[in-house]
Amino acid sequence: MLALLFTAHWEEAEIVDVKGRGPIDLAPFTCQEVTRSSVISRVCYDAESRRMLVQRYAAYQQYCDVPKETIDALLNAPSMGQYFNANINAAGHDGNGPYGCRMHKAPSYQ
């Protein structure tokens, strides 16, 4: 029994600080490290809540009600930074962008 205890794999919870939101546990998210963009270094997506976290310049930002197709398009875009700026971070009528969490209710992960 003790041998099993000491050989078990322990997964640590990863909690990140999200701008304007505070700490969020990444357990429900699927994250991808990005190495081909000078703007974006990580994209995390929770398909159930349609919520995306993007790490840009070492800071995480949240986006709500993001369709899976938009995530796929971002990850496959020739220029992720240009796609992100034009389609995700683009200023909406309130300056919050089309996926801003002020317009879309953000789920509670705490």
CB within 8 Å of 99: residues ≥ 6 apart: 52, 63, 64, 65, 66, 70, 88
In a domain? residue 99:
no
CB within 8 Å of 54: residues ≥ 6 apart: 40, 42, 43, 44, 60, 61, 63, 84, 88
In a domain? residue 77:
yes
The predicted model gives 52-61 an average pLDDT of 94
Average pLDDT, the chain: 83
Percent of the chain with pLDDT over 70: 76
> Has residue 46 got a pLDDT over 50?
yes
In a domain? residue 5:
no
Q: How many domains does the chain have?
A: 1
In a domain? residue 107:
no
Confidence of residue 5 (pLDDT cuts 50, 70, 90): very low
Query: What sign has the CA pseudo-torsion 99, 88, 77, 59?
Result: negative
Instruction: Write out the two tokens for 61.
Output: 């930002």
> Has residue 32 got a pLDDT over 60?
yes
β-pairing, 30-33 with 22-25? unpaired
In a domain? residue 42:
yes
How many residues belong to the chain? 110
> Has residue 108 got a pLDDT over 80?
no
Q: Which domain holds residue 81?
A: 15-88
In a domain? residue 20:
yes
In a domain? residue 35:
yes
Q: What pLDDT is recorded for position 7? A: 46
In a domain? residue 23:
yes
